[in-house]
Each structure stands twice: as structure tokens, then as C-alpha cells.
Amino acid sequence: MTRILVNPERLRALSTELKALSQQMGGLAESVKRAGGNLDWEVRQKTNVDANVASALTQARHLIEQANQMADYAGKKAQEFSAADQKSGRTLGELIPDLRVLPWYPPIRRLLPWLGPIVLLPILRPWPFPWLPPFKPPVIKRPPALPRPIPQPTPVPGPRPVPTKPPQIPPVDQPIAINDGLFPPKAPFNKWYQSGGGWPTYGDGTLHNGIDIKPQPYQPGVNDQVHPIGPGVIVAAGQETGKDKDGKIYLKGYGNYVVVKHTLPDGSNIYTRYAHLAEKPNFVVNDKVGEDTEIGTMGSTGNSTGPHLHFSVQKEYPVSEGFWNHKPGDLVNPKDPNSQTWGQVMENNFMNPTSFLNGTSNTQFIDSRTTQQAG
């Protein structure tokens, strides 16, 4: 191995030179960074300056770090050789190889002058080297732009649907009108109960040509309106009156009453009576009514012991009613054993009213409001 005499002062000078070189490299790196940063953003994107500058700065930092290591190394060895010279004057070859033969020293020395041009080379305009093909930055492919949605016209709101009322479904206990224009009987009240005399006799056994009923539950002024059991024509509406011994007129018998004629599909008629109404009826003969017509309110006029409705069904109108205060088996002519009974007379002229109220009569009425009536 070649032995070289070591001069500690020279090592110190080399250390100082390396530190100065490191500072120069740092300043050059900052200059390159500022130069790249001052360029327009679009130019930097097209020429890829930011990537090149970042790569050059990384290399410069590595070189600066190596130069500082070399300076520290040289300074340390200078101190060691100074101490060694004082003791034995040993040579540098025994302690450290020549810095100039270190593998990473020559590249650093050769790279420093070219650091700046290498970094700025891609962005130089015009191209300074006519014998070389110009630098072409990589083309950044952008994804194709999505087509813009075609604006749709705002829909014009149409007319609002007209709310329709749901069909009114009658309660189960009420008859439903048949679609062929025929109407089954419907009770004068939505719900009713027998409140007094029934068919065909009172409680004492005497004859009764109808049935006494009340609404269920009874609420005066609320549900005591009286309606005919079906469409028909008024044949009588008035008051049954009498005079007392002083000549004063009073209501007797049926009191305020209404009689309605109903036409059956075969052309025949039946008649229904509504008696003991609270007020005098406001109808005249031949007025047409339906099952929804209010013909009065329940009362206690005439021969009545309390508010109720007397309802009866007649086969003919008018008829003789001499069976009052008689029992079904009483003879019309007591002197003739073969005479009819008063019960037979009533049954010949009246029908069981209960069957018309509970829907068991199998009877249907023609609407008198749309059909010409016979006399």
C-alpha cells in the first residue's frame, strides 16, 4: 500500500471546502425549487416540472448529506492526525485512504456543475440543443368527459282529481233498493221496538189493527222523525177530531195521521197509516213521497197514552173499523150464529204490519215518483 504523508491542515481545508460545497448545493437546490414554483401551473403540468424538481431536490439532499459526512470525516481525521503527528508522525495511509480515491467523491464533484441544467432542461424554451430531438413531456390522458344530461322540461301539473264520496252503504238491518226500480219495505225508524199494542190484539185481548212502535233508542228531537216504508202517494193527511159537550174540538182516535198508497209490481195497491203524529201533516192528496221523505214526528195525539207511532197496513182504503173494543171471536151479528166474527172482518181488511217492518213480507214497491199512478 502506498504511504502518503498527511498534512492535518490540508484535511481541515478539505473539510471547510466540503462544507462550503454543501452550502452551495443547498442554495442551488432552493433556486431550482423557486424557479419551478414560479412557472405557470398549466406549464408545470404539461412539462412535468414538479416531478423533475422533486427528483432533483431529493438527489441534491442526498449529495449534501454525503458532503457533510465527508467534511465531518475529514475534520475528525485531521484531529486524529494532528494527535498522531505529535506522537509518532504516522502517515495518512495507515489511518485513512485518500479522499480522492473514495468511490462516491468523483461523482459528486462531476455532478455539481450540472445539477441546475439537468433540473431545468425539460422546461427550457426554445430548445437549446438543435442536434438533439426536443424533449417531449409525457402525455397525460384524461378520461373522456361524460355527456351532459339533457335538461328535461318541467312537467305541467294536470288538474287535480275531483274527490268522490264513497258510496253510502246502509246498515245491515235496513233493506237495500233493488236495481230494477223496485223497493222493499223500510221501517219508519232505522231501529224500532214494540212499545204497546201488537198485532192483532192489545194486552186485554181486544182487536188492534196495527202495531205501536218507538225508535230504539228513543231520543226526542233526534231520531223520532217518521218516514213511509216505501215510495207512494198521499191519499189522506189530516186530523181525526171530535167535539166535547161544550162544543170544543179535540183530537180523538188516530189524532194527526197520514195514509200512503203503495203500488205493487202486479199493479195492485196497499195502504199504510202513520198515526198519533206530533203535528198536523203538511201534505195534500196526491203528493208523492219516498222512503226518505219525512212525513212527521212521533207524538201522542188522539187516543194515546204516550208518545208512539201507530203503524198499520190496509188492503183497501177506506174500510170499516167497527171492530174496536171487540175480541177476535165476537160475532158481528150476535143474533146470527153463522155471522162473521170481528176478527175475520179485520183480517179481511188489514195485513200483519210486523212482516213489513222485519222484511218477511216479500213485498216490493214501484217508485211512485217516476211512474204514473192509477186512481
Identify the pLDDT of residue 56.
63
Q: Would strands 309-314 and 211-215 be described as parallel, antiparallel, or unpaired?
A: antiparallel
Regarding the domain delimited by 182-366, which CATH topology (the fold level of the hierarchy) does it fall under? Glucose Permease (Domain IIA) (2.70.70)
For residue 127, give every residue at least 6 positions away whose Cβ sits within 8 Å of its Cβ, in sequence order, or none.
134, 135
- Residue 340's pLDDT is what? 93
b/e map 316-332, b = 16+ CB within 10 Å: ebeeebebeebebebee
Q: Please provide the average confidence, as pLDDT, over all residues in the chain.
A: 77
Please give the model's pTM, rounded to 2 decimal places.
0.53
Over residues 354-373, mean pLDDT: 80
Q: What is the pLDDT of residue 366?
A: 92
Residue boundaries of the structural domains of the chain = 8-123, 182-366
Residue 166 has pLDDT above 70, yes or no: no
Instruction: Examine the pLDDT at 18 and tell me if it is beyond 60.
Output: yes
90 pLDDT higher than 50: no
DSSP-assigned beta bridge partners for residue 310: 212, 275
Structure confidence by residue, pLDDT tens digits, 51-64: 666 666 676 676 66
Q: What is the pLDDT of residues 285-324, one digit of tens each?
A: 999 999 999 999 999 999 998 999 999 999 999 988 888 8
User: 72-81, 100-109, 347-356 — which one is most confidently predicted on average?
Assistant: 347-356
The pLDDT value given to residue 291 = 92
Q: How many CB atoms lie within 10 A of CB 233?
A: 19
